[in-house]
Structure 1
């Protein structure tokens, strides 16, 4: 015989846990995150463009200074080379420092000397 008060109720309903937010909420969240990301990307592009412009203008303004510095360095090196040449060739008669050594009678044959 059944117990007093009857049997317990049979649990036949599905007991599913909460599965998270709905599809529209997820779609709205993804849209918001993407919009914020594109906003940040646009701000980053503006900043990068400004940095490139600043770098370009700084190079434009520095080029004359760097060219002048290079010219001074080249002149200083040429003068030092002439001084070294004077010191090394001081015992050679008729030697002119800085003048080309290939335009002299020494390196021309007798036939190639033309007298005008």
Structure 2
């Protein structure tokens, strides 16, 4: 028997179902564009409100620091005074045997006040 080719049945094959039978095709392009625009608008609105709140908190923090500066300077001055008095007391104790030594007297011959530049612990 010679070569025999496969052939379709008589009358051909049945039709193929390739269409989707969905009840709803989805929203149109204008509806999608409107939804995206609405979401973006709401997002920018919330971003603006957040920026205003952040700016207000930053302003509040700056003003609280401005109002705390005098208090912190006074605390620093009290601490410096306490340290200076402690240093004079130590100097008196160390130099008690040296005649003519005045504890706490400046070694500079000037009436101009100079804050101590070395922190003595």
Q: Deviations over 1:80-100 (max 9, x none)?
A: 000011011111111111234
Deviates more, 1:41-50 or 1:19-28: 19-28
Question: Which position in structure 2 is the counterpart of 1:61?
Answer: 67
TM-score, normalised relative to structure 2: 0.68
Structure 1 stretches lacking a partner, 5+ long: 1-6, 104-116
- Alpha-carbon distance in structure 1 between the residues aligned to 2:108 and 2:31: 88
- Alpha-carbon distance in structure 2 between the residues aligned to 1:11 and 1:39: 55
**Is the counterpart of residue 78 in structure 1 residue 84 in structure 2?**
yes
- Alpha-carbon distance in structure 1 between the residues aligned to 2:108 and 2:49: 64
Cα offset, 1:11, TM superposition: 3.8
Q: What secondary structure does 1:96 align onto?
A: coil
How many corresponding residue pairs?
95
TM-score, normalised relative to structure 1: 0.70
Structure 2 stretches lacking a partner, 5+ long: 1-10, 110-121
Greater fraction helix? 1
